[in-house]
Structure 1
Amino acid sequence: MQNPPFRLARASLLGSDSPNHAATTLRPVVRRRATLAELDPHFHCSLIGTCLTTAELRKLVLRLSGNAAREADDIEIHHEAVSLARQGVAGCKAIHKALDERHALSIRRFATARDANEVQAMWRHAQAEGDIPGAYWALMTHPDVTQPVRRVAFGEVHMLSHLVGAANRADIRRLVALEGENAELREKVARQQQRMQLMSAQHAKALQDANEQIAALRGRQARRGQVTDAHAEDLLRTTAQSLSELMNAQAARMAAAEQRAEWARDEAATLRGELDEMKAQLSASRAEAQALEALVAASTHDGAEPVSTMPGLASRRIVYVGGRGVSTTAMKALVERAGGEFQRHDGGLEQRKGLLPAMVAGADVVVFPVDCVDHDSVAVLKRVCQQQGIAYHPVRSASVASFMELAVRLFGRQEKTDADFGVDAARPAHA
């Protein structure tokens, strides 16, 4: 066999500790966090909705999408952010950067974990402490986390959203407690302000008394020639020292009172924000409860059917996208009992999304629950409705109560017209 045109390395050199041996070894693998674009698109909705506040998300979407999103509501802002994340371009990078900046502390804390088990243990600890947003983002992008661990965390965060509805009664009780605490804090701030004003008046009075004492001492010194300058200076120094100590004590008490008042104002502002949010949730819950009460009252009054509460549903065609099977079955029965037509598309779970345009065509109203429908279906649905001039209405949950509240609002009075719920009055009704 002919010799090769290159020189072969000897086995003894490849296994030796020669200087050239270090250059032949493989470089260690660099650990790198996953980016938002690299994650499963099904995680985007949960990550964006959990790890960024509504105000932060609105500011970010306005910067990325311009004035077109200025009049959008919160759910539309959320859908736009998820759409930008799934496109994987500049918008996705901007959202990833915003998440990193907001949760930098959690990312640094999770960086100490060296395998999936340690990451999962830190996630459990964060759950116990209620630190969900930062820990969720740090876990989903950790370089050593596995896909099964990501799915478990995604499922746990998803289930948290379902606990909100079950906590309505506790929220109402907390709302009442917050109102009481808010009133107590206001009274406390008022008392502290009165105390500060009293302390300021006392301080001014003490200063005036000290000045009068100094003036009196100087007068006595001028009248009494036998009082030496040294004695008078000692008296003045003693008086001045007492005055300085009194002023320092008063200043310290005023500073402490101002600090307590500032804390009370901040706490009151936080409580007011929580109170406003609780009131909005309570208002929505009350509207849904009133709709259900009207339905029950109509169905139990002298054997009458529930149709009496929604006379405007007769000959109306309702298309419902998303939701849950048990709830939509009850909705369908209510609509058909009132003389209307109810059709449901599951949002792409078993039915193709391509069927949406044909199903929506000819509908009077399109409804979808924001908590139980995927974002792609919502985007297709909005585009089709806008093209065909058909009104669409998002409801806050997939419950029968939310649907009934909307139905009573749109069809509860006989004199309701097409213009009341945004459909084309010139189009004939569909039986």
Structure 2
Amino acid sequence: MLSPPFSKRSIGLVAPCCEAQETPPPADEASQHQRTRLAQLDPHLHCSVIGTCLGSAELRKLMARFIDVVGLGELDVHHEAVRLASRHADVGRALHKAMDQRYAGALKRFATATDEEQLGAAWDEARQQGEIPGAYWALLTHRHCSPALRQRAFGEVHMLSHLVGAANRADLRRLVALERENAELAERLEREQQRRQELVDEREALAARVQQQAIELARRPIPEAAPVIDALQSQTLIGLHTQRREQAEHAAAQARAALEQAMQEMEHLRLQSRRLGRELAAAEAQLRTTGEPTPPQQLPADRRALLYVGGRPSTIPAIRALVERQGGEFLHHDGGLETRKGLLAALVQKAQWVLFPVDCIDHDSALNLKRLAERQGIPFSALRSASVASFAAALAAPDGGAEDGDDDSAAPPFCLRHA
């Protein structure tokens, strides 16, 4: 079902479904006044084009006109489409027509490009806006698209698929862990509720037995010498029942406390999950813009000079690059490990916004930073951790990174003494 491997002149490492014979298209098939056909593209591009520009359901419906797709998985249908795109004329025409119809708007926008420079600019703009499939098809089939531009677009789409796959895998692992913790807490809560109900039932049954025994004792005939004995027995029975009642109430109180603790833990995990989701979304947004031209002055004018105090040396270069990509000026002080603490006051005067991670800064630096920022009237934000994702989430927040303003996913209050 797979085609023979193609030469390595295009890409060093390719998936098996991308392998095809390296048969260059005839030079006279595509004139300068018409778009390139799918069958005229280098066969090694067919896997990327079909996989990016056509969905699984649409591709299966189209290929059912040429092959028997019953029992075939999505990967098998994809392999057959890639193999027949350059070998079967009807299949190539059908695939080309389907993508033309689906991305007619993108083809119309790219048709205005009159040279390779304009075509590359249109591709960069569409990629920044996330309109990859239609722009990819319009670019590869454009009459002004050079082999170098095709190769660049192919490489960017190829690497984007790796980034998306890695982010999805990390997100799935985090989701599975949270679901497992949630299931354990739910099971624990159910056990505590069941134990509490058992204690309540036992106490009610004990009260019923005491009442029944009292009724039976009242109905019995009492001899002349029996009053003293009955009084002693009654006192013993009452003491026993009182002890059992107190034990049952104590156990019920413990069950209520355990239940309340379990509910608090579940709420804490829910808030933690939302904070991690917000940081993941911010990190993914920054990852998508890595290497792309960023419009200047994305940060607010009153918060363009940022002072970051503390943190880990391994994350400082990435945080610096993140701020500079958004048109900001990055100032850093390590809190006194290698840089003198006396320089902190001068850096605060230069900054318009002060940020520090609560898990990677000493108490003295945090207290001093708070006093300096309040004295200068400069806003400061305490980040949940020293990770790049936490910093990116602070920059992406609508209120300038103050997580405490979000009632639904607020971070724990920051304590300058205990961090």
Q: Which has the higher contact order (CA 8 A, sep 6+)?
A: 1
Q: TM-score, normalised by structure 2?
A: 0.45
Q: TM-score, normalised by structure 1?
A: 0.44
